[in-house]
């Protein structure tokens, strides 16, 4: 079920005093949280929120500037998790109170940099993301050295961003933008203007003045006793997430959405002679990369009217003969295939910057093959296939639900659900393959395979296509 959007107007905000009281209650005798526990979860939330918005390819070089208190501790923990997530963090930690966290980062060879190294252009040129973990809810008055300079330098980044289109590191603040009054916000208007704020436990009053694009909540450890006592109204965390977005989803300029692909080169001498072996290799990579549905592919068909149509289907088998998927033999795609067997399938493996195109002719698989696969499916999906006259018009969802219920009842004894005659598999026999690997500046690698016969021996010719 899709959860109702949480209205950002109903979120509660904490005063500085309440924030400290929440802290005391969490760590008091009844709940007994240790600061290490809370800090670990807070830091993990921050790292998760960053990973949700800023990917580790484009925003690899992270600088965590950590203050002397627990906000700084959150920054150190977040940096450690970011390291494990594939980022390359560096740390600026002028007052090193958290010895264990420092040792853990040392053990991962995460470098510590001096204040002098990052004031000035260092901050601008050497990093993609600056994590502001200098001060949290216990900050008061004017920042003392060396944090005064550090805050000025981070604030400078926001000013630069307003002026230029160039690559300026993004700024992510932990709990409270450092130097801001915890309740009033950026009083003088000259402070840090973070692009992202990760409020912990519950947002502090100053978060109302946050103007950046990404506001997240982290610290998924607030028990009902704390929420009740402080009247906390907070959005639910989805699934097993460590963070949740608060406030509006940012409006994006679609025309400006682009990723600069960075990948290992795909060279003629590195690919398999048989494109099916190459496909298998890339498919294994897609599985290893943890993609959710590496077998999802776009299938394009074109009937005799010459008007192509596309839809996603799931690859359910692949061998020397071709690519197999299952569907309804009376669907639109089936009609088009019956009129014209020339079809194309396409895989896009987002996080690998890879696309595979395959073109060929389509045939039905044997009835035995379809039967065998049909009965391997969950019983619910088998009933689903009986219910759905795929691609026909249905007066309303209730019709499907009603029929499903009836059939569920009918087969509740566990008896065999007969495969409908009109349900089965197709196999695309490839005549052309193209393997595409995204590269910087749109100079991608494209290797195309077409069949060729040399001295009576069947093989494949590989050519490189211009990107
Ligand atoms: N549920 C929770 O509550 C959780 C809270 N968590 C995190 O803890 C954060 C709060 O941590 P915190 O209380 O240690 O305070 P924090 O803001 O890091 O700074 C204190 C240090 O700053 C110093 N300092 C102060 N003013 C200064 C100034 N003007 N100029 C210079 N220095 C100044 C001050 O020095 P002092 O004044 O004491 O000499 C002290 O050393 C909170 O925001 C969240 O991130 C999570 O980890 C877990 C769950
Ligand atoms: C990820 C994904 C996988 C799908 N897999 C299949 C599939 O394997 N078989 C199928 O019949 N429909 C599948 N569908 C539904 C089809 O995209 C499509 O809606 C349906 O087959 C009807 O298409 P048609 O009217 O062009 O025949 C899938 C949809 C998605 C989004
Ligand atoms: C209508 C339909 N049929 C068949 C499939 C194939 O998947 P499976 O056989 O795993 O149920 C899908 C997958 O989304 C589908 O939506
Ligand atoms: K901060």
Neighbour-count burial of 364, counting CB atoms closer than 10 A to its CB (0-12 exposed, 13-18 middle, 19+ buried): middle
More confident residue, 176 or 257: 176
Is 198 within 8 Å of 132 (Cβ atoms)? no
- 463 vs 247, more confident: 463
Q: Does position 198 have pLDDT exceeding 60, yes or no? A: yes
Residue closest via CA to ligand 2's atom 14 equals: 313
- Rounded CA-CA distance 191/185 in Å is 9
> For residue 324, what are the β-bridge partners?
317, 427
Q: Which pLDDT value is given to residue 314?
A: 98
Question: Ligand 2 pocket, 312 CB below 6 A?
Answer: yes
Mean pLDDT of 128-150: 97
Between CA 198 and CA 44 the distance in angstroms is 11
Residue showing tokens 């995460």: 110
d(CA 419, CA 202): 53
Residue 1 confidence (pLDDT): 37
Q: Whose CA is nearest to atom 29 of ligand 1?
A: 143
Average pLDDT of the residues in 125-141? 97
From CA 390, how far away is CA 330, in angstroms rounded? Answer: 7
Please state the residue numbers annotated as binding site: 70-74, 132, 136-142, 175, 178
Contact 275, 323 (CB under 8 A): no
Task: Give the right CATH number for 16-256 from 3.30.465.10, 3.20.20.150, 3.40.50.2000, 3.40.50.10260.
Answer: 3.40.50.10260
Structure confidence by residue, pLDDT tens digits, 96-126: 999 999 999 999 999 999 999 998 777 888 9
SS3 272: coil
Please give the model's pTM, rounded to 2 decimal places.
0.68
The full set of domain ranges for the chain reads 16-256, 275-391+400-464
The whole-number pLDDT of residue 8 equals 66
Query: Which region among 93-107, 239-253, 407-421 has the lowest average model confidence (pLDDT)?
Result: 239-253
pLDDT higher than threshold 80 for residue 390 = yes
Residue 433, pLDDT > 70, answer: yes
Give the Å distances, CA to CA, from 420 to 145, 387, 413, 432: 76, 10, 19, 33
Q: Which of 383, 387, 369 is nearest to 412 (CA)?
A: 383
What does the pLDDT read at residue 120? 77
**% pLDDT > 90, the chain:** 90
Interval 4-29: pLDDT, tens: 446 667 899 999 999 999 999 999 99
Portion of the chain with pLDDT greater than 70, in percent: 98
> CATH for 275-391+400-464?
2.30.110.10
User: Between the CA atoms of 452, 346, 286 and 55, what dihedral angle is there, to the nearest 10 degrees?
Assistant: 130
**pLDDT at 373 (0 to 100):** 98
Average pLDDT along the chain: 95
| pLDDT tens per residue, range 341-377 | 999 999 999 999 999 999 999 999 999 999 999 999 9
Question: Which residues, including other chains, have CB under 8 Å from residue 213's CB and lie 6 or more apart?
Answer: 195, 196, 250
User: 96, 229, 332, 442: which one is catalytic?
Assistant: 442
Q: Which residues line ligand 1 (CB under 6 A)?
A: 22-23, 26, 38-39, 42, 67-74, 135-144, 147, 174-176, 200-201, 219
Ligand 2: centre distance to CA 298 (Å): 9
Burial of 173 (0-12, 13-18, 19+ CB in 10 A): buried
| Residue 312, ligand 3, Cβ within 6 A | no
State whether the beta carbon of 296 lies less than 6 angstroms from ligand 2. Answer: yes
> What's the Cα-to-Cα distance from 258 to each of 75, 323, 394, rounded to whole Å?
29, 31, 39
Say if residue 309's pLDDT is above 80: yes
- Compute the CA torsion angle 18, 82, 246, 135 (nearest 10 deg): 30
For residue 26, give the H/E element and its range: helix 16-27
């Amino acid at each position: 079920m899709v959860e109702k959007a949480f209205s950002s107007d109903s979120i509660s905000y904490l005063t500085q005093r309440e924030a400290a009281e929440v802290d005391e209650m969490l760590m008091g005798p009844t709940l007994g949280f240790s600061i290490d526990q809370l800090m670990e979860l807070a830091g993990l939330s921050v790292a998760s929120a960053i990973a949700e918005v800023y990917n580790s390819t484009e925003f690899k070089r992270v600088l965590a500037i950590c203050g002397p208190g627990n906000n700084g501790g959150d920054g150190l923990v977040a940096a450690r998790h970011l390291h494990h997530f594939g980022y390359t963090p560096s740390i600026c930690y002028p007052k090193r109170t958290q010895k264990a966290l420092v040792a853990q980062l040392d053990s991962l060879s995460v470098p510590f940099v001096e204040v002098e190294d990052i004031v000035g252009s260092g901050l601008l040129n050497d990093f993609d993301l600056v994590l502001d973990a200098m001060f949290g809810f216990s900050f008061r008055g004017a920042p003392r050295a060396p944090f005064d300079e550090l805050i000025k330098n981070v604030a400078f980044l926001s000013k630069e961003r307003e002026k230029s289109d160039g690559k300026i590191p993004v700024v992510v603040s932990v709990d409270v933008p450092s130097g801001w009054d915890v309740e009033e916000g950026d009083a003088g208007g000259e402070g840090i203007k973070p692009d992202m704020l990760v409020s912990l436990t519950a947002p502090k009053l100053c978060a109302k003045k946050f103007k950046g694009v990404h506001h997240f909540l982290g610290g998924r450890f607030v028990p009902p006793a704390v929420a009740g006592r402080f009247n906390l109204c907070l959005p639910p965390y989805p699934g097993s997430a460590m963070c949740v977005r608060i406030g509006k989803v940012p409006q994006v300029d679609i025309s400006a959405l682009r990723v600069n692909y960075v990948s290992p080169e795909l060279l003629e001498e590195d690919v398999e002679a048989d494109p099916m072996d190459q496909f298998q290799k890339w498919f294994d990579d897609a599985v290893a990369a943890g993609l959710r549905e590496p077998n999802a592919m776009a299938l394009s068909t074109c009937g005799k009217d010459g008007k192509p149509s596309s839809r996603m289907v799931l690859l359910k088998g692949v061998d020397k003969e071709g690519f197999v998927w299952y569907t309804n033999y009376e669907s639109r795609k089936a009609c088009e295939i019956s009129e014209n067997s020339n079809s194309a399938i396409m895989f896009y493996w987002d996080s690998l910057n890879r696309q595979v195109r395959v073109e060929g002719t389509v045939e039905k698989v044997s009835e035995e093959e379809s039967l065998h696969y049909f009965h391997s499916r969950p019983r619910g999906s088998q009933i689903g296939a009986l219910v759905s006259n795929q691609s026909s018009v249905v007066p309303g969802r209730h019709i499907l639900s009603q029929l499903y219920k009836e059939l569920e009842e009918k087969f509740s004894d566990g008896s065999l659900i007969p495969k409908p005659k009109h349900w089965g598999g197709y196999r695309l026999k490839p005549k052309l393959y193209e393997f595409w690997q995204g590269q910087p500046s749109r100079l991608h690698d494209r290797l195309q395979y077409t069949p060729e016969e040399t001295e009576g021996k069947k093989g494949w010719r590989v050519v490189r296509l211009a990107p």
